[in-house]
Structure 1
Amino acid sequence: MLYYLFNWLDREFDIAGAGVFQYISFRASMATLLSLLIAMIFGGRLIKILQRKQVGESIRNLGLEGQMEKKGTPTMGGLIIILAILVPTLLFARLDNIYILLMLVSTVWLGLIGFLDDYIKIFKKNKEGLAGRFKIMGQIGLGLIVGITLYFNDDVVVRQYIFENGATSAVNAAKKWVDVKSMITTVPFRKNNELDYSTLFVFGGAISRELSSLLYIPIVILVITAVSNGANITDGIDGLAAGTSAIIGMTLAIFTYVSGNTFIADYLDIMFIPNSGELAIFCLAFVGACVGFLWYNSFPAQVFMGDTGSLAIGGIIAVLALIVRKELLIPILCGIFLIENLSVMLQVSYFKYTRKKYGEGRRIFKMSPLHHHYQKLGYHESKIVSRFWIVGIMLAIFTLITLKLR
């Protein structure tokens, strides 16, 4: 909103300094600062409201050190994160940008699903919360919206070279670009690090193009479901999910900025996605919201994000990666989410297998998800979170390096 106001003031009245709102870097910086302030100021007030409403976390006794001391800690703190994302984005981003609109819808959509889950757990006294099938249906619904929009919307394009006069590469071709509808994505560790989903079909021409939607949209649904559930599982100890998400969000902010800047994309020889640079504002608002939330969520936590926050941040990360065509980098970038998910899947599968084969269930880990395994080994929460953050930073750096590892 402020972009349009100051752009009008600059155009009509030539007010000094109003033109600075044209720059994504300025608006992204302001969005970060505002999201931090909202999370820190609004967060304290929301915690007091949740305490008065007795919106406390019910804790099962799993034999973990310090676990029962958290009983009654306010939950649904994800509302802080969502508000701290939405307000700066609405104020500083261009609201006619298809990618910004898609991110706003994704944030609210999964935030509402998580809110319903928390509401049922707390106010309806149902520990199971929203039935799993309804969560999956909600995630599939968002996947359909995102997949159909990215596939069919005319504003979703990538810029490619036109080869003329028999040229076979951008080196000896004329500097001429064309914006095309294409379902290409980035593939790590490959010399020509792009993959067009339509090429996965053996048919050619228009038939292949139409059939590619049958593959692309299910991939979108799978990515959104997996990452949002991964973030949900990771949210088990103070500060882990919020801190890890901030690291991932910062990496995606870099991707969105360079992918949306024609000069940087050309210099780095990476895919240029017109208008995606505006997403840097959303990304940095997301980072600011997560860091601001840590003010209250770091050990010992004064508030938990609940499913309201964890499902939303997982969905945000997934949709951002899909927009900038980096979904195949998610196993690296979101390695913490992946290993947490795998630890649960391996634990459950191995337990069922050994119970069927030997008559008693056996376990790979002392407890799953993985962070609880380390708690059982006697590590303090703060040490576990700090080390997971360090691993997350290493994975983020490696993800950025993959752009040049071909």
Structure 2
Amino acid sequence: MLIYLTEYLVTFSSGFHVFSSLTFRAVMSFLTSFFLSLWIGPLIITLLKKKSIRQVTRTEGPESHFIKNGTPTMGGIIILISIIVSVLIWGNPLNLYVCCVLFILISYGIIGFIDDYLKVKDINSQGLLPRWKYILQSVIALFLCSIMYFFGKDTPTTALVLPFFKNIIPQSGILYFLLTYFVIVGTSNAVNLTDGLDGLVIMPIIFIVAAFSLVAWATSNLQYSEYLHIPYLKHAKELVVFCTAISGSGLGFLWFNTYPAQIFMGDIGSLALGGALGTIAVLLRQEFLLLIMGGVFVIETLSVILQILFFKLRGHRIFHMAPIHHHYELKGCPEPRIIIRFWIITLALVFVGLVTLKAR
């Protein structure tokens, strides 16, 4: 909102121009969300403990996780508050791209809240029935698809960017709905599946949105978008502020979520962040880039799918437990080692993705 105040103040002094600078706003967005999450973190943890909002561990999960019973959950509230406040202060809340990501962040956060609340209320790890979760996610995603397609039909905002094909950027047409739907809903659930160890999911998200902040900056610059052969999206620059807000809030949350965790993200955080990440990728027309950078999320999801398919078709499991991070736990790999290695893999994939972007 300060961007509007700056337009008024600059009439009195040109020195206020700095507040409208994208670089300045991006850095301040990061710092605001980071320190805000550090400030409200202990308050939220204390409140959740008083309300007895604690983690309910799956009985069929690894035995080492039983010790985590009683750790406060719904920590995603810290992340969402920090992001929303930071974006409203330093971003342009009337920007269509910002509105789209905020819509998914909040609506998917509400679904996650309902899921977490039912788990705590019923003292059961089941929570919201999967079919209702997917139905709600699907309705919201399809509604957003319709809005985005209505405003961007036959423009670069609905173009299909293909890896390694510099001069081929066709219009996606009806495929836009299918691709957008699967990216938003799929990323949301993939992040949710990955969120099984202390700090496992938040650092990959920080790495990926940091990379997407660079992509958003490049795609909103005519010169760099032409150089990289990606669609020029003028209004995508506000996503830089949004991405840095996610990075800052995530880093602040990691302060409390690192092993051994003082608080868990819960579905309120994982569903919302996954949905927001997918939406950012769709708005930037970089769905395939997300597929590369989010390779850890893809592997985690595939491990669950393969586990179910093999058990139904062959009657046996190919992993000790799915998602795959539990498989390594049961093989005796210490939890901190799994977490750090997944972080390293994601960082490597982020660099691979950025190189792929240049290789187009």
TM value normalised by structure 1? 0.85
Task: Tell me if 1:371 matches 2:346.
Answer: no
Task: Tell me, yes or no, if structure 1 residue 381 matches structure 2 residue 335.
Answer: yes
Distance in 1 separating the partners of 2:179 and 2:275: 14
Q: Does 1:50 align with 2:42?
A: no
Q: Matches of 2:85 and 2:157 in 1, distance apart?
A: 32
- How far did 1:126 drift? 4.3
**2:7 alignment partner in structure 1:** 7
Q: Which SS does the other structure have where 1:196 is aligned? A: coil
How far did residue 326 of structure 1 move? 0.6
**Alpha-carbon displacement from aligned partner over 1:244-272 (angstroms, at most 9, x marks no partner):** 11111111111111101122223333321
Residues 300-335 of structure 1: per-residue CA shift (max 9 Å, x gap): 000001000000010011000000001122321211
1:332 aligned to 2:292?
yes
Which residue of structure 2 lines up, in the alignment, with residue 162 of structure 1? none
Richer in helix (by share): 2
Separation (CA, whole Å) in 2 of partners of 1:157 and 1:183: 6
Residues 1:268 and 1:219: Cα distance change in structure 2 (over 3 Å)? closer
Q: Which of residues 87, 97, 106 is equivalent to 1:108?
A: 106
CA distance in structure 2 between the partners assigned to 1:383 and 1:305 by the alignment: 20
List structure 1 runs of 4+ shifted beyond 4 angstroms. Answer: none
- Which residue in 2 is equivalent to 1:311? 271
Distance 2:157 2:108 in 1: 27
Question: What SS class does the counterpart of residue 160 from structure 2 fall into?
Answer: strand
CA drift of 1:157 comes to: 7.8
Distance 2:333 2:164 in 1: 36
User: Following TM superposition, by how much is the alpha carbon of 1:218 offset from its aligned partner in structure 2, in angstroms?
Assistant: 2.4
Q: Give the letter aligned to residue 148 of structure 2.
A: L
Using the TM superposition, give the Cα deviation of residue 66 of structure 1 relative to its aligned residue in structure 2, in angstroms. Answer: 3.2
Question: Relative to structure 2, which stretch is displaced further, 256-265 or 281-290?
Answer: 256-265
1:189 aligns with 2:164: yes
Whether the 8 Å CA contact 1:56–1:74 is kept in 2: the answer is: yes
Aligned to 2:262: 302
Q: Distance in 1 between matches of 2:287 and 2:192?
A: 19
Q: Distance in 1 between matches of 2:64 and 2:227?
A: 51
Measured against aligned partners, the alpha-carbon deviations of 1:372-391 in whole angstroms (never above 9, x if no partner) come to 11111111111101110111
Deviation at residue 189 of structure 1 after TM alignment:
2.0
Equivalent runs, 1:125-274 vs 2, <5 Å:
125-153=123-151, 156=152, 180=155, 183-197=158-172, 212-213=173-174, 215-274=175-234
Larger radius of gyration: 1
Q: Counterpart amino acid of 2:328? A: Y
CA RMSD of aligned residues (A): 1.6
* Residue 131 of structure 1, CA deviation: 1.5
Counterpart code for 2:158: M
> Where does structure 1 lack aligned partners over 5 or more consecutive residues?
159-179, 198-211, 356-361
CA–CA distance in structure 2, aligned partners of residues 26 and 377 of structure 1: 47
| Letter matched to residue 264 of structure 2 | F
TM-score scaled by length of structure 2 = 0.96
SS of the aligned residue for 2:92 comes to: coil
How many percent identity over aligned positions?
39
